[in-house]
Chains A and B, each alone.
Chain A
């Protein structure tokens, strides 16, 4: 009990003027997407009753506390379903200047390449019309299904002209490890348009969420997410994605980050012994990660003592790596205490503003245009 009381009282820093890099408007009910689908999909979805399915991604039961903070729940709709509540709950209280929307829709993991692409396109269009058109603080992510390279690139090309879309969104678990060459054309397309690729926690339910097989309980699937991200980080570095596409930036969302020190030590040490196997990896993996990969803040899986978090940050030894996020409406902190005082004022400013601007050239361009006016 003492532990909980203390963690609630951990002082937090102001987030005023920050760039929130992971906000979740609730994915729309399928019926709301019909207007954004072409005639074929519209008619067949209605005929097959697909319009009555919720295709939101569910890793946990709807009433699981982590899905939505109690004070952010709205009776009768999923949390984050309405623009006015997102304004009142996710933007205004934090003094957020820009927030990047990541609606997590099942289109990213469907078996049918064509249906997945049609739905990704519809969700992206819905996001542009229903959210970005109405709220200038919001930015979008180009949601794609990574399983079909051609269709994924077509969606990136279709959407990239709209500068309010600031990144490409995929999930942490796909059919193959993310470093594999089948995904490179997607990364090349993203980099060509100045779009980081956001890899968000979650994945297709057709792959076990742990490397040892299917777990029984939610706690296992949830905690194991960090191990999925570790594997993806290794894959991206070892397969040479960053050697091939030096302009590529990857954003890990909801990956946590306090596991990085042991990952860095283990990866760097092992690389020294076997680096001849991947001669395109010419620097310690930790250096490559620090240059190319960014991590959204919430949920912070830090120990309750502020000193312990500070020690972890010392071990990570890179001030550029964290991007502010609330992970709204998921329940990770109370009130507006999203940014622990343990980060200190200087690093806090980097996390809130400088690092996001360095990661998202489109946001940086918008803000410098605003400043020039």
Chain B
């Protein structure tokens, strides 16, 4: 299917998300500390928009009463029922084998390289002075 330019880097602030449509798919794009991740937007449970979910860390514990928060902002909580999905893999925390969403490779490319192809920019004009988020489908 190829590589798709989906957004300008400055369109998605750190800790924020954006819904993008690529080749007929709804994809939730996330910016975690300047790194971009993309997963299918539709929660496999009841279909909520994962792009509207909150980015959270991974709450872990070695024993009752002890709490540890790791992987800051790398999980998205579905806005409807709170199920957590790892935005690196698309797997849910509670049922990783069966409850998961597709994840996509994401990279950042400069407009100068993007205009040369083989990228597909369906949505907007690409400027050679800007950086763009590229999703591979």
Interface residues of A (CB under 8 A from B): 181, 239-241, 243-244, 269, 271-276, 278-280, 284
Are B56 and A272 touching (Cβ within 8 A)? no
Are A244 and B63 touching (Cβ within 8 A)? yes
At the interface with chain A, which of B3-11, B30-38, B76-84, B121-129? B76-84
B61 touches which one: A271, A272, A279 (CB < 8 A)? A279
Are A273 and B82 touching (Cβ within 8 A)? yes
Are B63 and A272 touching (Cβ within 8 A)? no
A280 to B84, CA, bound (A): 16
Are B82 and A280 touching (Cβ within 8 A)? no
Tell me the number of A-to-B contacts counted with CB atoms below 8 Å: 45
Interface of chain B, main secondary structure: loop
A269 to B78, CA, bound (A): 14
Are B63 and A280 touching (Cβ within 8 A)? yes
Interface of chain A, main secondary structure: helix
| Contacts known (A276-B56, A276-B59, A276-B84); A271 close to B64, Cβ less than 8 A | no
The smallest C-beta distance from B55 to any residue of chain A, in angstroms, reads: 13
Are A271 and B94 touching (Cβ within 8 A)? yes
| Contacts known (A273-B82, A275-B94); A240 close to B59, Cβ less than 8 A | no
8 Å CB contacts to A: which residues of B50-85? 56, 59-68, 81-84
B81 touches which one: A243, A272, A278 (CB < 8 A)? A272
The 5 closest A-B pairs by CB, nearest first: A240-B64, A273-B82, A279-B61, A276-B59, A280-B61
Q: Write out the residue numbers on chain A whose beta carbons fall within 8 Å of the beta carbon of B92.
A: 272
| Contacts known (A272-B95, A275-B93, A275-B94); A240 close to B83, Cβ less than 8 A | no
Q: Residue on A with the closest CB to B93?
A: A275
| Contacts known (A271-B94, A275-B94, A276-B56); A243 close to B63, Cβ less than 8 A | yes
Q: CB-defined interface of B84-100 with A at 8 Å, one 1/0 digit per residue?
A: 10000000111100000
A275 to B63, CA, bound (A): 14
Q: Write out the residue numbers on chain A whose beta carbons fall within 8 Å of the beta carbon of B84.
A: 275-276
What size tier do the contact residues of chain B reach? 10 to 19
| Contacts known (A240-B65, A272-B95, A284-B94); A279 close to B60, Cβ less than 8 A | yes
A181 to B64, CA, bound (A): 10
Q: Residue on B with the closest CB to A282?
A: B61
Are B83 and A273 touching (Cβ within 8 A)? yes
A280 to B92, CA, bound (A): 17
A275 to B58, CA, bound (A): 11
Q: Write out the residue numbers on chain B whose beta carbons fall within 8 Å of the beta carbon of A240.
A: 63-65
Residue of B60, B81, B84, B94 with most partner-chain A CB within 10 A: B94
A336 to B66, CA, bound (A): 50
Are A274 and B82 touching (Cβ within 8 A)? yes
Are A244 and B64 touching (Cβ within 8 A)? yes
Other contacts beyond A272-B82, A279-B60: 19, CB < 8 A: A181-B65, A239-B64, A240-B63, A241-B64, A243-B63, A271-B94, A272-B81, A272-B92, A272-B94, A272-B95, A273-B81, A273-B82, A274-B82, A275-B84, A275-B93, A275-B94, A279-B67, A280-B62, A280-B63
Q: Write out the residue numbers on chain A whose beta carbons fall within 8 Å of the beta carbon of B59.
A: 275-276, 279
Ordered by A's residue number, 16 sampled pairs between the chains whose C-beta atoms are within 8 Å are A239-B64, A243-B63, A271-B94, A272-B81, A272-B95, A273-B81, A273-B83, A275-B59, A275-B93, A275-B94, A276-B56, A276-B59, A279-B60, A279-B68, A280-B63, A280-B64
